[in-house]
């Protein structure tokens, strides 16, 4: 199977996670951010992730891919229940401040989807229409963090294990880790101890590195 992704995209991280958790080899293909032709030829619109299945069909939508791969061999690993409090906190974390913190930093990082000037310009022009000037977002970091750190503190209280936020692997892990991973691009953001342990353990289990060494 082949998976088409962007490295910065949390939805793509969701899809990548299930292959790591199940120790299934995947041909990972990073698309340039301004490559519209490739995804449109596969699924009719510009979007990622896209799974190219062994039967030749293409599957979009991150959670559809996760569920397909998890049940592919009849031995699912996402057997835990969703917990209302954790699910709500995940939704709260995925907010406007989160996007304003991450987007301006990713486009300045040597990620494969931004390997060309045109790809960087494409992303910047599109995101700044809704998120505002990237340089201003960087300067507003202290204010933006005030919308993030209280949610991280609440998540800290709810994490049951570094190997599974609810104590047993579930879709909550698939949705939480990608957001925390993206926030690791923010230099100076202090993660609570249990959140840090969870991020590090999930990174090992999924074979998806954090961005701490490239934080801006």
Question: What domains are there in the chain, each with its CATH number?
Answer: 2-70 (3.40.30.10), 84-214 (1.20.1050.10)
Kind and range of the H or E element at 175?
helix 171-183
Mean pLDDT computed over 21-37 = 97
Q: In Å, how far from its chain's centre is CA 78?
A: 17
The 2-5 sheet, strands edge to edge:
27-30, 2-5, 50-52, 58-60
Measured CA to CA, the distance from residue 177 to residue 172 in angstroms comes to 8
- For residue 210, pLDDT beyond 90: yes
In this predicted structure, what is the pLDDT of residue 127? 98
In this predicted structure, what is the pLDDT of residue 106? 98
In this predicted structure, what is the pLDDT of residue 184? 98
- For residue 65, pLDDT beyond 90: yes
In this predicted structure, what is the pLDDT of residue 74? 85
- For residue 107, pLDDT beyond 90: yes
Judged by phi (left if over 0) then psi (alpha if -120 to 50, else beta), residue 6 lies in beta
In this predicted structure, what is the pLDDT of residue 73? 83
Q: Among 107, 102, 3, 22, which Cα is nearest to 62's?
A: 3
In this predicted structure, what is the pLDDT of residue 110? 95
Query: pLDDT digits over 147-164, tens only?
Result: 999 999 999 999 999 999
Query: pLDDT digits over 66-83, tens only?
Result: 999 999 888 999 999 999
Residue 44: DSSP 8-state: S
Query: pLDDT digits over 170-197, tens only?
Result: 999 999 999 999 999 999 999 999 999 9
Query: pLDDT digits over 111-159, tens only?
Result: 999 999 999 999 999 999 999 999 999 999 999 999 999 999 999 999 9
Q: Specify the pTM.
A: 0.97
């Amino acid at each position: 199977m082949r998976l088409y992704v962007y490295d910065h995209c949390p939805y793509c991280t969701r899809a990548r996670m299930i292959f790591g958790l199940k120790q299934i080899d995947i041909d990972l293909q990073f698309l340039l951010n301004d490559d519209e032709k490739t995804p449109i030829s596969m699924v009719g619109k510009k979007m990622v992730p896209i799974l190219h299945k062994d039967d030749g069909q293409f599957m979009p939508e991150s959670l559809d891919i996760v569920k397909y791969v998890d049940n592919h061999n009849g031995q699912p690993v996402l057997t835990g229940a969703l917990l209302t409090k954790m699910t709500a906190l995940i939704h709260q974390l995925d907010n406007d401040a989160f996007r304003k913190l991450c987007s301006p930093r990713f486009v300045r990082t040597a990620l494969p989807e931004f390997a060309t000037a045109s790809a960087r310009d494409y992303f910047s022009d599109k995101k700044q229409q809704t998120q505002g000037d990237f340089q201003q977002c960087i300067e507003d970091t202290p204010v933006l963090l005030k919308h993030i750190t209280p949610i991280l503190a609440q998540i800290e209280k709810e994490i049951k294990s570094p190997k599974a936020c609810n104590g047993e692997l579930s879709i909550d892990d698939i949705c939480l880790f990608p957001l925390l991973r993206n926030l690791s691009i923010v230099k100076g953001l202090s993660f609570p101890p249990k959140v840090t342990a969870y991020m590090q353990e999930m990174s090992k289990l999924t074979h998806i590195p954090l961005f701490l060494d490239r934080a801006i």
